[in-house]
Structure 1
Amino acid sequence: MSQMTIRATIYRPKFRNGSLSLDLHKLTTNGLVEELQLSDNRNKTTTQFEQLPPSPMDSDPMTIAKLYAIMEAVADRVEMHKNIGEQRNNWNSLLLTSINSITLTASVMSGIAAMEAGGAPLGVSSALLYLAATGMLLVVNKMQPSQLTEEQRNATRLFKQLYEEIHTTLTIGNPTSDDVKEEMEKVLALDKAYPLPLLGVMLEKFPKTVEPAVWWAPLQDRHAKWRGGKVNKNGWDEKLEEEMREIAKVMNRKDEDDYLRLGNKALKLNKALAISSPILTALAAFGSAFVGHGSWAVILGVVAGALSTVVNTIEHGGQVGMVFEMYRGNAGFFRLMEESIESNLKEREAERRENGELFEMKVALQLGRSLSELRDLAASSPIKGEANHEFASKLF
């Protein structure tokens, strides 16, 4: 029996740059057909690989360019709000320290003037310092630097969230002109909700009624970006719809209402403190100006000034304005979730909704619950017509 020997030589392919590494980013963004040239030392072969859709380049290139332009603008706003937030936080610390130092100095000067004969000039100097502190307090209490800082923190977080949302849209692929319009509306809504300038457009720091913060565009015309298959009506069924309705009711009845109640208390406290501190320094200035004309002047000049320092420390050192804005923002978070649920349920065609399974998971994550805990919460809400004392959110 003769033996036959088969010899074969395998040549390792080389890429253009001589490296075996493959740029996955380019592979996923260069269209449906990628042309990859493989060459060895003796000949060159051109092979075509068909890429599975979807790819960002499947859409109109102008649409993709617009989304990238929006991403750049959003990234710039993130930096602006972050930097201005740090600046306004520094304002709060600096003004708090300065006003307290001026007030305490004036209080000490008023006491010394009362103990020394002929201390009228010292009393007048103390009165002038109190008047300066009163003017500064009127401006600071109107601006509420701690609340401004919280606004910028919220804006920074929300713009980062929007940036990632646009990035996800581009990564998944097939963006449309509706996506561009929607993202533009979201940017403008955030700009309106958290303005950067102070003069003319600054948010009202002492509103008559406490309302949830609103930083989103209207949701009633929103269409689903990630559509599921036609099986089980895009992930929706009657049980899931009822579950979402109950979750929305719990958030409205418990979480949103509770934060609005706490926000109203914080607002009332902040108003009382903002009015009290300049009144106390004004009274202290009046008393210091009349040091030597009776014990009442000394009491006003010293005690009122010291009390003003305490009130100012509680208001701005305790950042009561920031607490109010935090409660208002939390109420807005639940209002947004309620509107998101309602906008999906109002859409009669299940295929035009966001995928039900995905939406349920997002709601559970936003509330800090597992899917089973979310379903248990919805099931326990209407039992025997009794009020459910459990809050929807476990995060805050």
Structure 2
Amino acid sequence: MATLRQQLNELIDKLSPNMEKAFLEAIADIKSEIVLKEVVERLERRDIAGAIEALHIDPAAFRPLSEAIRQAFNSGGVLTTGRMPRLTDPMGGRVVFRWDASNQAAETIIRTMSSTMVTNVMEGTVEAVRETIVSGYSQGQGPNTIALDLVGRKSAITGKREGGVIGLNGPQAELIERTRINLLSGDPALMRKYLGLKTRDKRLDGAVRRAITAGKPLDKATLDKVLMRLRDRNLKLRGEMIARTETVSSVMSAKHEAFLQALAKSNRDASLVTRKWRSAGDRRVRHTHVILNGQEVRGMDLAFQSSSGAMLRYPGDTTLGAGPGEIIACRCDVEYNFDFAEAFARSRGR
């Protein structure tokens, strides 16, 4: 039979695509509600704040993501509870324990995770929008061009907007604007950097190589295609990273909460639990988590301390201030062990 860790990994693999779909649907919904004329009018006045406001990037648009977090959290709690060790009270009596996703602590966790995630996505998106507007002005682009770079251009086939920066983060937007500058430079060394991008559309490599050979800037029509594909692929990449990271955080926080609920139900002290960090055990594990592997702490509140200084109670835990460098695409686990036998022996000896 598969271990709890294996089953949780399978659950994360199963739920991550749902989270990614929710993210992409939220971005598509934002784009569909934008009135391009309103954005252009504000850009004509060089009203950056007004242009951003006209995009209507608000928390309500990301409700599907919040629902996906709730689903992942609840599924992680149910699975962990089903694989919980046999529980006994302090006198050795059997305890029946069921996962409760509606209790106050669980609801607080879900609200906090949803709020934090939506805030981070919105802030990253606004940063990308601002980067694109400022860069557009500096390059002498007109309001219509900047607006289309923000929201995307409508596909003649689907009628949906493609290639906008909405949904990307600041560094992704900066990468795309730098690529635009490089491909317009006519400098072969700068233009060649595009061919090293993992998110490029390789079907356009031929046109870029021909421009490099000729030592000429890439023509506008091809450049528009290159940047549109680059934005779309970076949007998918961001969706994948958000989905994996948030699903891991949701499932692992539910696992932690399930053990807290079990302790409360069995009237046991948290000091009877030991927790051991387990890395994925391969070369893809970040260095700080390689060092954490095998480290053990007692109780439920004491955190593992990364060599970076970050504190985490479990993989994906951001409640103690751990940043993206410690949680993105993490595949680690924490092993929980009850020491009820020792406690029962002590109670009998009194």
Scaled to the shorter chain, the TM-score interval is 0.3 to 0.5
**TM-score w.r.t. length of structure 2:** 0.33
Answer 1 or 2: which has greater helix percent. Answer: 1
Provide TM-score, normalisation by structure 1: 0.30
Which of 1 and 2 has greater Rg?
1
Report 1 or 2 for greater relative contact order, CA contacts < 8 Å, sequence distance ≥ 6: 1
